[in-house]
Amino acid sequence: MGHHEVPKLNDPSLLISKAYVNGEFVDAASGETFEAHDPSTGKKISTCPEFNKQDTEKAIAAAEEALKSWRKTTGRERATYLRKWYDEMQKNAADIATLITWENGKPLTDAKGETQYAANFFLWFSEEAAHIHGDTVPASIPGNRVYTIRQPVGVCGLITPWNFPAAMITRKIGPALAGGNTVVAKSPGETPFTANALAELSRRAGIPKGVVNFVTALKNTPEVGEALTTDPRIKKVSFTGSTNVGKLLMKQAAGTMKKVSWELGGNAPFIVFDDCADLDAAVAGAIACKFRSSGQTCVCANRIYVQDGIYDKFADKFAEKVKNFKVGYGFDDGVTHGPVIHDRAVGKVEAHVQDAEKKGGKVLTGGKRMTELGDNFFQPTVIRDATMDMQIAQEETFGPIGALFRFKTEKEVVALANDTPVGLAGYFYSSNVNRIYRVAEALEVGMIGVNTGLISDAAAPFGGVKESGFGREGSRYGIEEYTIIKSVTIGGIESELQG
Ligand code: SIN
C-alpha cells in the first residue's frame, strides 16, 4: 500500500467515530470531538467524542444498572458470551489488525500477532469463567462450618494505553466479565478505533447493553480518569500506563478505597552470560525483546548487560542485525519496524542517544531521526559502552535504542539489574542450570524470561513488583483481581446425629 492510500477495512462499519455507552454508539453531550492520527503519515484517521465527567458518569450509571442482572448470570453463561466475542474477533481479525497498524503504526504482521494475543484473553477467561471456585474451610470453632464464595467486585473502571490498542483492553475486560463485573473502559486517545471495533463486536456477540462501555477522550483524559477513580459506584480500577500516572490514580482511588491493580513502567534488564549455549539465539532474543513495537512495550529490554568475554562479539552481531531492519509504513511489504507514537516519543529517544554519547557511549548504528519517512520515525539504534549514569539506564526509553552494558560477574550484574525503583520484566541467557534457578530467584521483577526474549502469553501471569505496580493479569491468577472472597460461617451445628 502506498503512503497516500487510506487503509481499507473488509467491513467499513468497524471504523467507528463514537463512544459506546449502554449498548449505543454516542457522542459527547457537548458535541466536542478530538482527532486521532496515523503516526506514520500524520494524517487524520477520524474523530471521536471528547467525553467529560458528566458523559463518563452516564457510562458508569449504565454499567451499574447492567450489573444487577449480569452478576446473577452463571459462569457458564458468561463463558459463552466471552467465547462469542472471541469468535467475532477471529472473524474480523484482519480488520482489527488493520485498525491497530493504522492508529498505532506497528507493522501489520505485529498487529496480526497482537490481534490473536488479544483474542486469547477472551478465550482464556471464557474458560476461567465457569471455574471460579470457593473453598470449604475447616473451622477452628466447634459447631461452625465455614465456606467461601467468590463474588464480583462491581463496576470496574479500566484505563489502557496505546501501545497495544487491543490486547491491553481484552486483558482487563476478559477477567472482569468472567468474574461477573461490568466495565467502563477508557480507550487511549491515540488509539480509540480498535477499542470501538471491539465494542461493536461485543454487541454482535450479544453481550447485554451496559455490561461493556467505552468512553473516549484526549484532552479530557485526566478528568475522565478522575471520574473513574473517584466515583463511589466504581469498585475496582485497573490501569496500564506510566508509574507517575499510576501513582496519581492510586491516590485518587484511595478516597473510596477501591480495589486496584496497576501495570506500570519497567526498566527491564536483559543479561547475556558467557555460558549461554548459543550467542546467535541470545542476539535474536535481545532483538525481539528490545525492538518489539519499536521498543514501545513495558516489558522491552531497556538495559542489555553482556558479560565481558563475549561483549564485543555480541555487540557486532547485534548491531549487524539491527542494520538490516526495514523501517517504514506498517502496511508496506517487508517492513519490520514502524514509527514511534508521536513527536514527544521521538524527542525522548533522541535525548537518550545524545546523553549516552556525551557520557562515553558509542553509537554502532542508527542514532538519528528519519525525517525522510515522517516526523515520528527514528533509526533503530545500538549504543555500546553504556554506563549506569546514563539516562537510558535510569529511565524507560520506550523507543528503539538497544544499549549494551558490560559486566564481569553474576553478583555484579544482579546488583546492577536490581538497582532501579521499578521491576516489571527481566531476561537472561545461560545454559547453567544452577545459575538459571539462582538468577531467576534473585532478580527483583514480576516476570522473567530465561533463554527467550518473548514472555507474553494469556496463560502466564503478567505484572510487576516495586514501582511497576501490583496485581496480575492473564493466567488463572487474573481472575482474582476481579473477584472478592466472601466467607460464610454457619454456627450452632450439633455434632451428634439426631433421632
Ligand atoms: C505492555 O507493554 O504493557 C504489555 C506488553 C505485553 O503484554 O506483551
| Residue with cell string 442482572 | 69
pLDDT tens, position by position, 25-69: 999 999 999 999 999 999 999 999 999 999 999 999 999 999 999
pLDDT tens, position by position, 383-436: 999 999 999 999 999 999 999 999 999 999 999 999 999 999 999 999 999 999
pLDDT at 3: 54
pLDDT tens, position by position, 232-274: 999 999 999 999 999 999 999 999 999 999 999 999 999 999 9
pLDDT tens, position by position, 114-130: 999 999 999 999 999 99
pLDDT at 1: 44
pLDDT tens, position by position, 201-215: 999 999 999 999 999
CA contacts within 13 A on the Cβ side of 91: 15
Ligand 1 mutation target, pool 170, 242, 261, 299, most atoms within 8 A of CB: 299
Ligand 1 neighbours, Cβ below 6 Å, are 163-164, 167, 240, 263, 297-299, 456
Closest Cα to atom 6, ligand 1: which residue?
Answer: 456
User: Cβ contacts of residue 255 below 8 Å, gap of 6+?
Assistant: 230
Q: What percent of the chain has pLDDT over 90?
A: 98
- Give one DSSP letter per residue of 202-240, joined into a string: HHHTTPPTTSEEEE--STTHHHHHHHHHH-TTEEEEEEE
Using 50, 70 and 90 to split pLDDT, how confident is the model at 5? confident
Q: What angle is formed at CA 264 by the lines to CA 260 and CA 267, rounded to 5 degrees?
A: 150
Whether the pLDDT of residue 495 is over 60: the answer is yes
Output b/e per residue, 159-171; b: 16+ Cβ within 10 A: bbbbbbbbbbbbb
CA atoms of 217 and 214, how far apart (whole Å): 10
For residues 284-300, give the mean pLDDT. 97
pLDDT tens, position by position, 477-486: 999 999 999 9
Ligand 1 mutation target, pool 104, 106, 110, 164, most atoms within 8 A of CB: 164
For residues 310-329, give the mean pLDDT. 98
Residue 419 Cα distances to 52, 82, 171, 268, 493, angstroms: 40, 41, 30, 11, 56
Which residue among the candidates 276, 298, 300, 473 is catalytic per the annotation?
Answer: 298
Q: How far is the CA of 458 from the centre of ligand 1 (A)?
A: 11
The per-residue pLDDT of the chain, averaged, comes to 97
Question: Helix or strand or coil: residue 128?
Answer: helix
Residue 127 Cα distances to 92, 174, 324, 348, angstroms: 21, 10, 42, 41
pLDDT tens, position by position, 134-150: 999 999 999 999 999 99
Whether the pLDDT of residue 277 is over 80: the answer is yes
Question: Helix or strand or coil: residue 157?
Answer: strand
Q: For strand 136-137 and strand 145-152, is the pairing parallel, antiparallel, or unpaired?
A: antiparallel
Angle formed by the axes of helices 192-204 and 167-178, nearest 10°: 40
Q: Look at residues 409, 451, 418 and name the one whose alpha carbon lies nearest to residue 309.
A: 409
Residue 155 Cα distances to 180, 245, 356, angstroms: 9, 21, 46
User: Cβ contacts of residue 307 below 8 Å, gap of 6+?
Assistant: 272, 273, 274, 406, 407, 408, 413
- Give one DSSP letter per residue of 14-34, joined into a string: G---SEEETTEEE--TT--EE
Q: How far is the CA of 299 from the centre of ligand 1 (A)?
A: 6
- Contact call for residues 464 and 458 (beta carbons, < 8 A): no
CA contacts within 13 A on the Cβ side of 431: 8
CA atoms of 99 and 115, how far apart (whole Å): 10
Active site residue 263: yes
Using 50, 70 and 90 to split pLDDT, how confident is the model at 192? very high
Instruction: Identify the burial level of 257 via C-beta atoms within 10 angstroms of its C-beta, where 0-12 means exposed, 13-18 middle and 19 or more buried.
Output: exposed
Using 50, 70 and 90 to split pLDDT, how confident is the model at 4? low
Active site residue 88: no
Q: What percent of the chain has pLDDT over 70?
A: 99
